[in-house]
């Protein structure tokens, strides 16, 4: 029977080319929009999931209240990592991260200013699953002034040469020896480094105490560790290490500090939650929000509903043209189940063709979409085993959802009314079609209004009056390298008739 339905569907599609093309193109537009959104959602949900121990990695957060100021941030004191390793049960390892930007990096006669320069601990590769192409994970960050760079940086500075053992001069002061080459950091990582060096390389260590919070501390829990038991150990740690700081600065005990209405404690945030479900007020760089995933998923569903309603309306509008076909088939012995099967087969075939067109549209437009979203999305049919089954299920679901009502409606045609030539669309079906049309237009209008609102906000931000002509204002990066010569440089610059005023920030 299925083979017969396929043959009938093929003949219908060939005979009614205009109707078929309209339906295929309408469904393809809706499906392509859904695929784009699903690719974006999949990418967002995949953040930090590539680490082998992702379910055991946590970021230590600081939850504090100092006077009237509430703090819930992702930075903690530098000595915390070592204390957690030595004093906590349930914690297997810990590592710190501290990001610096605008680092001067020199190799031979070439000098670049680099961001994403991180200080970390030698335990970094024991916790995170970043792939080292060259070098040992255990030894790469063991010595001061050792340096791990990404493959992109290796190609930038050394091209095809072997970079291991080569030396880069940082800030024009210190030579760093390259001890490891790491694969480029995945886009789905909230930690995005180009350079890694151990904390022992940092010369400015005057604030490496319990009163300064400027590093991120990550911990790796034992496999059977209890999060609740680990949280219970923080008060004793704070009493031991942070209590003396409070006593020295405020001349009170930690208990008195708490009784005065202050708060100071640590908590653990799961690594997979950092990007979308972070509870931090001061979120790590690049963090997003799960609400965007929900909103865009809803938009994808609404777009798909609009495409399905459009298909339903076109199908029911053609019911009168196919009434004689249905009547004759019923006279020849076809039951309603067989007719529903036939119409659903036609619908699924149309949707499958629409899906192929949608995939082609996505492939053509994906570079522009990636540029818009600043991502590297791709339809990975071979490397991702879920892509093809997801698209097939989406196609089947859309075909059944779009063709279901039309199949049940068309299969209910009365033989007598068809043979007498008195078949007309029933009042009930007309009401349903009107409701669907109204619902379709309501969704479309709502989406258009939301789009216009967002566009107007973006336009306002781009063109708002900032109180100065931004086209005439220039910022000199790394002005601090001039040190005591900053004011001399400013005075000399103001002698230029084209410069009206200047300001040294921080002075």
Helices (H) and strands (E) in the chain, counts: 16, 13
User: Among the listed ranges 187-191, 325-329, 459-463, which one has the minimum average pLDDT value?
Assistant: 325-329
Cα–Cα distance, 53 to 221 (Å, whole number): 9
Look at residue 67 and tell me if it is in a domain.
yes
Q: How much is the average pLDDT of 223-250?
A: 92
Closest CA to 299 of 4, 38, 27: 38
Quote the pLDDT of residue 429.
Answer: 54
Does residue 409 register a pLDDT over 50? yes
Do 309 and 331 share a domain, yes or no?
Answer: yes
The percent of residues above 70 in pLDDT, for the chain, comes to: 82
pLDDT at 475: 75
Answer whether residue 281 is part of any domain: no
Beta-carbon contacts of residue 344 (< 8 Å; ≥ 6 apart): 399, 400, 403, 404, 407
Domain end call among 273, 300, 332: 273
Element (H, E) at 99: strand 91-100
- Number of Cβ within a 10 Å radius of residue 62: 20
- Residue 253 vs residue 413, higher pLDDT: 253
pLDDT over 70 (residue 315): yes
Based on the fold, state whether residues 303 and 420 are members of the same structural domain: yes
CA distance 98 to 199: 9
The reply to whether 450 and 497 lie within a common domain is no
Query: Which of the two residues, 478 and 282, has the higher pLDDT score?
Result: 282
Q: Are 352 and 423 found together in one domain?
A: yes
Please report whether residue 231 resides in a domain.
yes
How much is the mean pLDDT over the chain? 84
What's the CA angle centered on 437, arms 431 and 438, to 5 degrees?
Answer: 90
C-beta of residue 418 within 8 angstroms of C-beta of residue 321: no
Question: Residue 102 sits in which domain range?
Answer: 54-273
Do the domain assignments include residue 449?
yes
DSSP alpha helices (H): ranges in 374-424?
Answer: 387-410, 415-420
Share of the chain above pLDDT 90, in %: 46
Our CA dihedral for 95, 63, 58, 216, rounded to 10 degrees, sits at: -30
Long-range Cβ contact pairs of 436-445 (< 8 A, separation 24 or more): 436/309, 436/312, 436/313, 437/309, 437/313, 439/309, 440/305, 440/306, 440/309, 440/310, 440/313, 443/302, 443/305, 443/306, 444/306
Q: Tell me, what's the pLDDT at 427?
A: 44
Q: By the 8 A CB rule, do 361 and 445 touch?
A: no
Pair 200, 269 in one domain? yes
Same structural domain, 221 and 201: yes
Checking if the pLDDT of 286 tops 80, the result is: no
Of 100, 344, 72, the residue nearest 199 (C-alpha)? 100
Q: What digits encode the pLDDT tens for the residues 22-53?
A: 888 888 999 999 999 999 999 999 999 999 99
Q: What is the mean pLDDT of residues 233-237?
A: 94
Q: Residue 255's pLDDT is what?
A: 92
pLDDT at 416: 58
Q: What is the DSSP letter of 76?
A: B
Tokens of 351: 């949707």
Identify the bridge partners of residue 120 per DSSP, sorted by sequence position.
97, 198
CB within 8 Å of 458: residues ≥ 6 apart: none
* Residue from 38, 18, 37 nearest 26 by CA: 18
The pLDDT value recorded for residue 467 is 67
Q: What is the pTM of this model?
A: 0.81
Q: Residues 238, 302: one domain?
A: no
HSE-CB of 203 using CA atoms within 13 angstroms: 5
Reply yes or no on whether the pLDDT at 507 is more than 50: no
Domain boundary among 239, 273, 307: 273
Indicate whether 454 and 343 sit together in one domain.
yes
Contact 269, 282 (CB under 8 A): no
- Token pair of 322 as six digits: 């196919």
Residue 221: inside a domain: yes
pLDDT higher than 70, residue 56: yes
Residues 100 and 76 in one domain: yes
Question: Using 50, 70 and 90 to split pLDDT, how confident is the model at 422?
Answer: low
Nearest to 401 by CA among 344, 486, 453, 361: 344
CA distance 25 to 22: 5
Tell me which of 17 and 357 has the higher pLDDT. 357
| Rounded distance between C-alpha atoms, residue 305 and residue 370, angstroms | 25
The winner for highest mean pLDDT among 144-158, 277-291, 328-342, 489-503 is: 144-158
Q: Evaluate whether residue 428 is within a structural domain.
A: yes
Within-domain flag for 358: yes
Same domain for 477 and 355: no
3-state secondary structure 255-323: HHHHHCCCEEEEEEEEHHHCCCCCCCCECCCCCCCHHHHHHHHHHHHHHHHHHHHHHHHHHHHCHHHHH
Q: pLDDT digits over 92-123, tens only?
A: 999 999 999 888 999 988 899 998 999 999 99
501 alpha-carbon distance from chain centroid: 42
pLDDT tier at 63, thresholds 50, 70, 90: very high
Please report the DSSP string for 125-193 in residue order.
Answer: HHHS-PPEEES-TTTTTSSTTEEEEEHHHHHHHHTTS--TT-EEEETTTEEEEEEEEEPPPPTT-S---
Chain segment 471-506, per-residue pLDDT in tens: 777 777 666 655 667 778 778 788 887 787 777 765
Lowest mean pLDDT among 32-46, 358-372, 393-407: 393-407
Whether 39 and 109 map to the same domain: the answer is no
CA distance 337 to 346: 14
In the predicted structure, residue 334 carries a pLDDT above the cut 80: no
Q: Per-residue pLDDT tens for 131-161?
A: 999 999 999 999 999 999 999 999 999 998 9
Q: Is the pLDDT of residue 459 over 90?
A: no
Q: What is the mean pLDDT of residues 389-408?
A: 81
Q: Identify the bridge partners of residue 180 per DSSP, sorted by sequence position.
A: 148
* 3-state secondary structure (DSSP) of residue 77: coil
Domain limit, last residue, from 248, 273, 298: 273
Burial 403-428 (b: 16+ CB within 10 A, else e): bbbbbebbbebeeeebeeeebeeeee
pLDDT for the residue numbered 348: 83
Beta bridge partners of 269: 59
Same domain, residue pair 236 and 353: no
Q: By mean pLDDT, which of 26-30, 366-370, 412-416, 483-487 is the weakest?
A: 412-416
Tally of domains within the chain = 3
351 falls within a domain = yes
């Amino acid at each position: 029977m299925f083979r017969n339905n396929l043959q009938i569907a093929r003949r219908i599609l060939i005979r009614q080319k205009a109707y078929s093309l309209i339906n295929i193109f309408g469904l393809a537009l809706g499906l392509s929009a859904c695929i784009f959104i699903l690719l974006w959602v999949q990418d967002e949900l995949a953040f930090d999931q590539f680490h082998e121990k992702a379910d055991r990695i946590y970021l230590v957060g600081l939850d504090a209240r100092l006077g009237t100021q509430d703090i819930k941030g992702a930075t903690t004191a530098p000595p915390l990592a070592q204390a957690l390793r030595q004093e906590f049960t349930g914690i297997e390892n810990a590592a710190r991260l501290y990001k610096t930007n605008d680092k001067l990096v020199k190799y031979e006669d070439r000098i670049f200013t680099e961001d994403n320069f991180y200080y970390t601990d030698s335990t970094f590769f024991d916790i995170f699953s970043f792939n080292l192409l060259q070098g040992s994970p255990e030894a790469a960050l063991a010595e001061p002034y050792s340096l791990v760079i990404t493959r992109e940086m290796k190609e930038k500075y050394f091209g095809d040469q072997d970079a291991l053992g080569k030396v880069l001069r940082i800030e024009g002061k210190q030579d760093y020896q390259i001890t490891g080459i790491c694969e480029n950091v995945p886009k789905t990582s909230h930690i995005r480094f180009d350079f890694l060096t151990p904390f022992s390389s940092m010369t400015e260590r005057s604030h490496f105490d319990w009163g300064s919070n400027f590093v991120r501390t990550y911990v790796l829990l034992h496999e059977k560790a209890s999060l609740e038991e680990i949280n219970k150990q923080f008060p004793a740690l704070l009493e031991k290490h942070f209590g003396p700081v409070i006593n020295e600065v405020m001349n009170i005990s930690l208990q008195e500090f708490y009784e005065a209405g202050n708060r100071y404690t640590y908590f653990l945030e799961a690594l997979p939650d950092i990007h979308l479900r972070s509870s931090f007020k001061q979120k790590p760089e690049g963090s997003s929000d799960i609400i965007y995933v929900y909103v865009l998923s809803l938009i994808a569903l609404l777009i798909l509903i609009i495409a399905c309603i459009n298909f339903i309306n076109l199908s029911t509008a053609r019911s009168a043209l196919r009434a004689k076909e249905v009547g004759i088939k019923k006279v020849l012995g076809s039951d309603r189940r067989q007719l529903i099967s036939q119409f659903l087969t036609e619908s699924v075939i149309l949707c499958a063709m629409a899906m192929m067109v949608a995939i082609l549209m996505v492939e053509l437009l994906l570079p522009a979409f990636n540029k818009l979203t600043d991502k590297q999305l791709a339809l990975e049919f071979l490397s991702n085993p879920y892509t093809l089954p997801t698209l097939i299920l989406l196609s089947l679901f859309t075909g059944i959802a779009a063709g279901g009502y039309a199949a049940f409606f068309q299969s209910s045609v009365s033989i007598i009314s068809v043979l007498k030539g008195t078949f007309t669309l029933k009042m009930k079906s007309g009401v349903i079609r009107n409701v669907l049309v109204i619902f379709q237009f309501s969704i479309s209008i709502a989406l258009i209004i939301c789009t216009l609102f967002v566009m107007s906000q973006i336009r306002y931000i781009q063109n708002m009056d900032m109180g100065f002509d931004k086209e005439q204002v220039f910022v000199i990066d790394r002005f601090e390298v001039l040190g005591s010569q900053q004011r001399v440089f400013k005075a000399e610059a103001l002698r230029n008739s084209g410069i009206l005023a200047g300001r040294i920030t921080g002075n």
